[in-house]
A and B are shown apart, each in its own frame.
Chain A
Amino acid sequence: GDSVTQTEGLVTLTKGLPVMLNCTYQTTYSPFLFWYVQHLNEAPKLLLKSSTDNKRTEHQGFYATLHKSSSSFHLQKSSVQLSDSALYFCALRPNNYAQGLTFGLGTRVSVFP
């Protein structure tokens, strides 16, 4: 079956520093990859999505590139802000969209002043 692996459970860093959250996946089919962010007591919200190999996608200062050769979709930001403290989930959706999203275990990002 499909799977998504996020290797960091918790990332703590100081405001202004760069961050990279790792995401790798396994699927038999051509996937669509997503990054969702969930702030405390809020609904998960879409941050980025992509199905195009080797094309960088950006939103709200975050960016990621889908690399099908390495089955990766790492999330990056050049300079984190305090408001970036949240849970980040990588997810994939196979081309049978009825299956919905398969999520990784999530990475908690804590940004300190």
Chain B
Amino acid sequence: NSKVIQTPRYLVKGQGQKAKMRCIPEKGHPVVFWYQQNKNNEFKFLINFQNQEVLQQIDMTEKRFSAECPSNSPCSLEIQSSEAGDSALYLCASSQPGQGSEVFFGKGTRLTVV
């Protein structure tokens, strides 16, 4: 069973609305990732953290997406103004540092923007 917990599993928002999803990484994992998986099952990296600090993020994330991973609280990803093209499965993942460390994924939050 996945030890990365994502909530909610399903989220429906209107265009222009905020959409917020949360993630509890596996205990002891300092590295957290957010990916977007589209309807064609393609993965797109959004942002990642190590110990609450942003390591990398893509341009899209910098503009409409915001994310944080505060200590002792769930990580979150928020879309400020949802667009139809944001409809996708948002996957949170965590790992130990290190190139060969297994990346553990949550089951995702499926966002539908209507």
- Chain A positions near chain B (C-beta within 8 angstroms): 32, 34, 36, 38, 41-46, 49, 51, 87, 89, 93-95, 97-103, 105-106, 108
Contact = CB atoms under 8 A, between A and B. Distances in A.
B41 A87 contact: yes
A63 B111 CA distance: 35
Contacts, number: 65
Given A43-B106, A43-B107, A94 B43 contact: no
Interface size class of B (residues with CB under 8 A): 20 to 34
Interface stretch (B14-22, B79-87, B96-104): B96-104
B33 to A, nearest CB: 5
Contact of A43 (B33, B42, B43, B108): B108
B102 A43 contact: no
Contacts of B102: 46, 49
Contact of B103 (A51, A94, A101, A105): A101
Interface stretch (B48-56, B60-68, B70-78): B48-56
16 contacts: A38-B41, A43-B2, A43-B91, A43-B105, A43-B106, A43-B108, A45-B2, A97-B98, A98-B50, A99-B45, A99-B56, A102-B45, A105-B41, A105-B42, A106-B41, A106-B42
Contact of A100 (B2, B4, B33, B107): B33
Nearest to B100: A32
Contacts of A98: 31, 48, 50, 55-56
